[in-house]
């Protein structure tokens, strides 16, 4: 494990402990429906990240799903769920133990904050309408988030000295042109279905604001 890998692991654990959503423990004990949503979220995210494709090792590409996770649970619980999924992938041998911290930071922590920021900006500065929520907070947000995540990963691998910048750009960053729409479509469809049929699953969706006839 290199110095930067150890630093990433330590930073991830410190952030996770500092912002641990203690209220979720009580909610899991008292709300059975949320318990099902919680475990389903972990399983879906872990499976989503298991399906990878890439040209070079460590430059694998996969759908993220972080935007839907953040809209459903908020960024702190999304951190916890995503971190549990990372641990499962490490235990399954899909992720190197030394890369646990960096994957958690680059795939969960920073993208979740970025995605929540996009939602917050849309909430405060755009009309609070169902279509704004679906297409901006869901669809466009997911596209920007996966591009952000891939950019972070590219710079991390380059500064680690794992690959040259040309290799990272040719074999990884350019693929953002292919995956952003799939990521946006996946999250946009998930948010659409939940806002219509299971709005109570979306922690960031408010019926009295997004569905108000006055808006």
- How high is the pLDDT of residue 119? 96
Distance CA 119, CA 81 (A): 19
How many other C-beta atoms are found inside a 10 Å radius of the C-beta of residue 165? 13
Mean pLDDT on 148-167: 87
Q: Is residue 183 pLDDT above 80, yes or no?
A: yes
pLDDT band, residue 165 (cuts 50/70/90) = confident
| Portion of the chain with pLDDT greater than 90, in percent | 60
Based on its alpha-carbon atoms, the radius of gyration of the chain, rounded to whole angstroms, reads: 17
Q: Return the minimum-mean-pLDDT range out of 14-23, 60-69, 154-163.
A: 154-163
pLDDT band, residue 41 (cuts 50/70/90) = very high
| Portion of the chain with pLDDT greater than 70, in percent | 96
pLDDT band, residue 212 (cuts 50/70/90) = low
Mean pLDDT on 124-152: 93
Q: Can you point out the beta strands (E) in the chain?
A: none
- How high is the pLDDT of residue 144? 96
Give CA separation, 24 vs 27, 29, 74, 81, 184, in Å. Answer: 5, 9, 11, 11, 28
Contact 24, 79 (CB under 8 A): no
- How high is the pLDDT of residue 46? 93
pLDDT band, residue 118 (cuts 50/70/90) = very high
- How high is the pLDDT of residue 213? 56
Distance CA 130, CA 142 (A): 17
> What tokens were used for 154?
């590219």
- How high is the pLDDT of residue 215? 53
List domains and CATH numbers for the chain. 3-210 (1.10.1760.20)
Mean pLDDT on 8-33: 92
Contact 138, 131 (CB under 8 A): no
Which helix or strand (DSSP H or E) is residue 4 part of? helix 3-18
Q: Is residue 196 pLDDT above 80, yes or no?
A: yes
With CA atoms as reference, report the closest residue to 63 among 85, 34, 80: 85
Instruction: Render pLDDT for 43-98 as a digit per residue (tens, 0 to 9).
Output: 999 999 988 776 666 677 889 999 999 999 999 999 999 999 999 999 988 888 98
Rounded to the nearest 10 degrees, the angle between the axes of helix 141-160 and helix 176-197 is 140
């Amino acid at each position: 494990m290199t110095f930067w890998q150890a630093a990433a692991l330590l930073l991830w654990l410190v952030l996770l402990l500092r912002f641990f959503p203690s209220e979720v423990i009580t909610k899991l004990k008292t709300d059975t429906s949320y318990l099902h949503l919680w475990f389903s979220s972990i399983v879906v995210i872990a499976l989503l990240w298991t399906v990878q494709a890439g040209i070079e090792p460590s430059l694998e590409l996969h759908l993220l799903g972080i935007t839907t996770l953040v809209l459903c649970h908020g960024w702190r619980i999304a951190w916890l769920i995503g971190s549990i999924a990372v641990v499962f992938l490490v235990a399954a041998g899909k992720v190197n133990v030394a890369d646990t911290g960096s994957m958690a930071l680059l795939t969960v922590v920073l993208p979740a904050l970025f995605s929540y920021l996009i939602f917050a900006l849309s909430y405060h500065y755009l009309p609070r309408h169902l279509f704004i929520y679906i297409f901006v907070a869901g669809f466009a947000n997911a596209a920007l988030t996966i591009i952000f995540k891939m950019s972070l990963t590219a710079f991390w691998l380059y500064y680690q000295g794992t690959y040259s910048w040309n290799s990272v750009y040719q074999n990884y960053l350019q693929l953002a042109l292919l995956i952003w729409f799939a990521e946006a479509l996946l999250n946009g469809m998930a948010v659409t279905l939940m806002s219509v049929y299971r709005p109570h699953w979306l922690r960031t969706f408010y019926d009295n604001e997004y569905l108000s006839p006055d808006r």
